[in-house]
Structure 1
Amino acid sequence: MNTDNASSAELSQLLARLSNQVEKLSRNVTKLENEVAALKQRSDEEIPEDVLIAISAAVSAYMGNRGTVRAVHFLRHRSWSQQGRQAVQHKAKWQ
């Protein structure tokens, strides 16, 4: 009977240790899954165009490639034109 009690106590200790290890592993897996989800979200974000241009220019300069400009487009913003009109109209008032 003593051996049965001893083996029963050993089994319960072993079961408790295994249970603790499973809980610890579950927490680690959850933590890693959260990190992977955050990394996936970051990789899905688009890189801004100005950053890509800066990286391209740096790589091109490092490799000694002289780029050529093929096209330039000037865009007029409404705010610039409005400010210009306001300045002209304001001057006309005081003259």
Structure 2
Amino acid sequence: MSAKAKKSPPQSRRRFTDEFKREAVQMMLDGHSAASVVERLGLSSVNLLYRWKRELLQGSGPVAASLESRVKELELELKRVERERDVLKKALAIFSRSD
């Protein structure tokens, strides 16, 4: 029998508890990338984690959804401010050079 002809037994679907799903989503909300959470927990895909997040936020009601949108706004603002800071650092370096 060749190596291709050998078939592994079918894998059964893994079941995750609600607590496990909440903790996985919380890891992502705490700042870990979705890919790193998937790798650490041995999940099958990033899409699974995002689906859990969407389901959790829908079940939490409008307050959680508004908090999520506020977090996104603040992340965008932080990136903008960091870009401004970097420009100002470069300008300071240029003007403080003595030729």
Q: TM-score, normalised by structure 2?
A: 0.38
Q: Which has the larger radius of gyration?
A: 1
Give the number of the structure with larger relative contact order, counting CA–CA contacts within 8 Å between residues 6 or more apart. Answer: 2
TM-score normalised by the chain length of structure 1: 0.39
